[in-house]
């Protein structure tokens, strides 16, 4: 872009130094409210300065389309804190360019329709165990997000590693929990120091990450030994990654690349879905009419048989409830991009290396694009109500070429969980506690969501 062209463009509205002096504390404590207030005041784009860094806050479907689809190569992902890269390495979520494209092609078969059909048996088996646990629990309210984390952990572990031993499952679960705790501590630090500086927090984080890496590499090496001995192995994602590029060794993945992809699937695959299911059952418990409608639809479509892949298109209301949950409580509430070259957003000049905060939560709650955005209304996702809506108003899985590769799996899992649990139990909230949204890596409930599951007669 020439200097003459840039001179004819508009400057991005600037919130000024006010954000530093008067709103810095609120920005850190309540970023959802702060970002929404800024975009509401200044329009679909505004620049702010926090401490010494400038950020461009974006909240417009047209801008989202331009960044995520039209010019996505100029707007690669940016790890704002470095935390994701420190945990995930250079897996599918954090990589860019040719590396990302290669990884995407390798991982795509794992989420093909035929693979999802095979996974359904695993999902039903693990939900059977969850239903038994809820029935045994009696009338005691439980932390439902924790239950869904355990459920998704077991499902994803079986997808990744096949039938792992109980000892391995327990060890993986414990280390994953420790890693999540240390990651949250890293994220919420007021002053973030590089991991190379041996602060107590950094030492703890690196120690847990080392234990996690040691376990994953041990699983990879054990599988390699099995392959070398021609041991019969059921197909799973680890096997797929190890045999990728088998015809040409130059295309084969290194152990580090396999570790990064497995870690990415672990972290991205079970946390976001677990939080969405937790929020959904929070709404179901508070609004029995939603549960009744799901129950009626499930009975009409399935009668008394198990759900299969061909039923999802008929479970329209159940799907609408899931979509409305992801609109109201987007797990990925903020996306970060950094443009490689100077660019424009509509008539606004965007300097090279600008850090863009794509305010997903704000977009999903913007009254310019949604009718009554602060009300939970599943019917808004009926096809007739969406015909005039911009497709980039709703981005729970992202959009464009970097659309989340696990979307079909996540939707399938949630549809099965919701239809089965709501058809089996009456969900009752534990007391009148209002659960608030806490934006961390994902949008978490604070305090936890406690629900009582009463078996239906």
Tell me the C-alpha distance between 192 and 189, whole Å. Answer: 6
Q: Give the residue from 202, 214, 203, 204 showing the smallest Cα distance to 172.
A: 214
Tell me the C-alpha distance between 326 and 280, whole Å. Answer: 9
> Looking at residues 181-197, what average pLDDT do you find?
69
Burial class (CB in 10 A: 0-12, 13-18, 19+), 384: exposed
* Ranges 19-28, 72-81, 185-194, 376-385: which has the least confidence: 19-28
> Looking at residues 316-320, what average pLDDT do you find?
97
Residues 6+ apart with CB under 8 A from 27: 19, 34, 48, 50
| Adjacent-strand bridge partners of 334 | 359
Looking up tokens 């240390």, which residue turns up? 182
Tell me the C-alpha distance between 111 and 105, whole Å. Answer: 11
User: Domain range for residue 358?
Assistant: 3-30+45-163+234-455
Q: SS3 of 369, please?
A: coil
Tell me the C-alpha distance between 40 and 419, whole Å. Answer: 37
CB atoms within 10 A of CB 60: 25
CA dihedral 430, 436, 442, 448 (to 10 degrees): -20
Instruction: Output DSSP code: residue 381.
Output: G
Q: Looking at the domain assignment, is residue 184 inside a domain?
A: no
Strands, E, within 118-181: which ranges? 142-143
DSSP string, 177-225: HHHHHHHHHHHT-SS---TTS--HHHHHHHHHHHHHHHHHHHHHHHHHH
Q: Looking at the domain assignment, is residue 186 inside a domain?
A: no
**Pairing assessment for the beta strands 355-359 and 53-58 based on DSSP bridges:** parallel
* Predicted local distance difference test score (pLDDT) of residue 4: 54
Residue 156, token pair as written in the block: 């994803």
Looking up tokens 């096809």, which residue turns up? 383
* Ranges 45-59, 62-76, 243-257, 285-299: which has the least confidence: 243-257
Q: Give the residue from 63, 56, 65 showing the smallest Cα distance to 11.
A: 56
Q: Looking at the domain assignment, is residue 35 inside a domain?
A: no
Whether the predicted pLDDT of 245 surpasses 70: no
Residue 403, token pair as written in the block: 């659309």
Q: How many CA atoms lie within 13 A of 105 on its CB side?
A: 10
Q: Looking at the domain assignment, is residue 203 inside a domain?
A: no
Q: Rounded to an integer, what is the distance from CA 446 to the centroid of its chain?
A: 18
Asked whether the beta carbons of 416 and 279 are under 8 A apart, the reply is no
Asked whether the beta carbons of 54 and 354 are under 8 A apart, the reply is yes
Instruction: Output DSSP code: residue 75.
Output: S
First to last CA, the chain: 68
Who wins on pLDDT, 179 or 293?
293
* Predicted local distance difference test score (pLDDT) of residue 418: 97
CATH number for 156: 1.10.630.10
Q: Looking at the domain assignment, is residue 181 inside a domain?
A: no
Each residue of 77-116: pLDDT tens digit?
998 777 778 887 888 888 888 888 888 888 888 888 888 8
* Ranges 48-57, 99-108, 363-372: which has the least confidence: 48-57
* Predicted local distance difference test score (pLDDT) of residue 3: 56
> Looking at residues 152-159, what average pLDDT do you find?
89
Number of domains in the chain: 1
Q: Looking at the domain assignment, is residue 347 inside a domain?
A: yes
* Predicted local distance difference test score (pLDDT) of residue 1: 55
Is the pTM higher than 0.85?
A: yes
Whether the predicted pLDDT of 51 surpasses 80: no
Each residue of 272-295: pLDDT tens digit?
899 999 999 999 999 999 999 999
Looking up tokens 């899992």, which residue turns up? 413
Q: Looking at the domain assignment, is residue 348 inside a domain?
A: yes
Tell me the C-alpha distance between 214 and 388, whole Å. Answer: 52
Q: Looking at the domain assignment, is residue 85 inside a domain?
A: yes
């Amino acid at each position: 872009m020439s200097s003459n062209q840039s001179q004819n463009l508009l400057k991005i509205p600037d919130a000024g130094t006010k954000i530093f002096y008067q709103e810095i504390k609120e920005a850190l404590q309540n970023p959802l409210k702060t970002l929404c207030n800024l975009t509401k005041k200044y329009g679909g784009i505004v620049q702010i300065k926090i401490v010494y860094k400038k950020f461009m806050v974006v909240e417009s479907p047209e801008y989202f389309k331009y960044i995520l689809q039209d010019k996505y190569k100029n707007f690669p992902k940016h790890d704002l804190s470095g935390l994701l890269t420190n945990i995930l390495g250079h897996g599918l979520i954090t990589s860019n360019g040719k590396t990302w494209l290669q990884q995407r092609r390798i991982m795509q078969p794992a989420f093909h329709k035929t693979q999802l059909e095979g996974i359904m048996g695993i999902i039903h088996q693990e939900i059977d165990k969850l239903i038994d646990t809820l029935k045994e629990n009696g009338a005691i309210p439980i932390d439902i997000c924790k239950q869904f984390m355990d459920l998704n952990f077991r499902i994803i572990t079986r997808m990744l590693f096949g039938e792992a031993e109980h000892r391995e499952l327990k060890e993986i679960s414990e280390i994953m929990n420790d890693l999540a705790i240390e990651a949250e501590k890293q994220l919420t630090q007021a002053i973030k120091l590089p991991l190379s500086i041996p602060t107590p927090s950094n030492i703890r984080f690196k120690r847990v990450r080392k234990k996690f890496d040691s376990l994953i590499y041990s699983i990879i090496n054990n599988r390699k030994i099995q392959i070398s001995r021609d041991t019969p192995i059921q197909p799973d994602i680890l096997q797929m990654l190890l045999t990728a590029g088998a015809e040409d060794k130059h295309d084969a993945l290194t152990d580090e690349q396999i570790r990064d992809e497995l870690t990415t699937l672990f972290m991205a695959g079970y946390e976001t879905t677990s939080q969405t299911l937790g929020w959904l059952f929070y709404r179901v418990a508070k609004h029995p009419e939603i549960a009744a409608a799901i129950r009626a639809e499930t009975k009409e479509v399935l009668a008394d048989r198990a759900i299969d892949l061909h039923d999802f298109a008929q479970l329209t209301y159940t799907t609408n409830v899931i979509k409305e949950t992801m609109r109201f409580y987007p797990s990925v509430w903020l996306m970060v991009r950094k443009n490689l070259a100077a660019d424009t957003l509509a008539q606004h000049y965007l300097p090279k290396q600008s850090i863009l905060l794509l305010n997903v939560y704000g977009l999903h709650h913007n009254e310019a694009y949604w009718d009554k955005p602060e009300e939970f209304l599943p019917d808004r996702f009926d096809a007739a109500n969406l015909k005039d809506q911009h497709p980039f108003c709703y981005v729970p899985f992202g959009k464009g070429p970097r659309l989340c590769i696990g979307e079909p799996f996540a939707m399938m899992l949630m549809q099965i969980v919701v239809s089965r649990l709501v058809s089996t139990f009456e969900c009752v909230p534990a007391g009148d506690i209002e659960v608030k949204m806490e934006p961390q890596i994902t949008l978490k409930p604070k305090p936890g969501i406690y629900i009582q599951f009463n078996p239906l007669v």
